[in-house]
Structure 1
Amino acid sequence: METSKVIHAIYTDDDVLMAAVKKVKANKYHIGEIYTPFPVHGLDKAMGLAPTRLAITAFLYGCVGLIVATVMMNYIMIEDWPQDIGGKPSFSYIENMPAFVPIMFELTVFFSAHLMVITFYLRSRMWPFKDAENPDPRTTDDHFLMEIPVSGNEKELHDLLVETGAVEVNLVNNTH
């Protein structure tokens, strides 16, 4: 394992954290990670993170669900076991498609939702029985933690973080 030093700056207010992120980025420091007890609107943009591509995968998963629904209903209701329901014989899929729309919609949503959950957990590396990576348990309650890697600039960075409103600044060994 590689050991490096990082500074953990702890904040107690999300607005102070946002201002601090902007100031730290303006001073050309790289923010390794930020731990928050709830999502902070605009934090990803302030950190300079790339937009997520998860919406594209949700659309693709929905398309897969629509295709599965169409193929499944065509096979079951038209090819495998056609039935005369209410005097309406099943000669083709197109003639019966209006009755299939609710099933198509539900399977589109089902595939999109369930596969997105799996994709999110895999992308976030959050699988069952994984140990937590949270460096300070207070960040699950009411504190915000900014983690910044250091390399010989501890004093300047410490002073900058205190100036931005950090209530606590700690130099720790990071083992990732």
Structure 2
Amino acid sequence: MAAKKIHAIYTDDDLLLQAVNQTRAAKYHISEIFTPFPVHGLDHALGLAPTRLAITSFLYGLCGLTVAVLMMNYMMIQDWPQNIGGKPSFTFYQNMPTFIPIMFELTVFFAGHLMVITFYMRSKLWPFRKAENPDPRTTDAHFLMEVDVDNHDVETLSKFLYDTGASEISLIENEQDH
């Protein structure tokens, strides 16, 4: 079964944002948008749900803080306590002011590195994966909106997209396995 899609190319991000609003208001389904840079407000215009990546970043930071506290407590208090610079090594809370930089650095380290891994997994970006960019111009200065044709008339949809400000429109037929 072949699924028909229309690729509409826009040359301005504001024009794209306005076209997305008009296309959604006309009840056409936008399957994907390719942009050379993040467009502010595009996720809201597409009706995408807010991301939960900030929550995962916070949880990764807590893991880093926990590892830092446990590591320093074991190394500096339990395993090999030393009197460094006149600071006693009897308890963790007595030495905590000197441990704050290490706790901060491990919190940032865990959050940063695990967020990169999470982003790659969420985006399905694996090593040696082939790029799925349908038009190389979208990495430079053009914006592409991919609209599903479904049961709509191609001529009517094309005219509608030209009226929204598209500079170029092409019909694409994708082979799908069903």
TM-score (norm 2): 0.95
C-alpha displacement at 1:133, in angstroms?
Answer: 0.5
Tell me which stretches of 4 or more aligned residues in structure 1 moved more than 3 Å.
Answer: none
Identity of aligned residues (%): 66
The answer for the alignment partner of 1:155 in structure 2 is: 155
Matches within 5 A, 1:1-176: 3-153=2-152, 154-175=154-175
C-alpha displacement at 1:86, in angstroms?
Answer: 2.0
| Runs of at least 5 residues in structure 2 that lack an aligned partner in the other structure | none
C-alpha displacement at 1:175, in angstroms?
Answer: 4.3
TM-score (norm 1): 0.96
Give distance in 1, aligned partners of 2:105 and 2:175. Answer: 45
* Cα RMSD, aligned residues only: 1.1
C-alpha displacement at 1:31, in angstroms?
Answer: 0.6
Q: One-letter code of the match for 2:7?
A: H
C-alpha displacement at 1:89, in angstroms?
Answer: 2.3
1:17-37 CA-to-partner distances (Å, cap 9, x unmatched) read 111000000001111000001
Aligned length: 175
Give distance in 2, aligned partners of 1:61 and 1:50. Answer: 22
| Runs of at least 5 residues in structure 1 that lack an aligned partner in the other structure | none
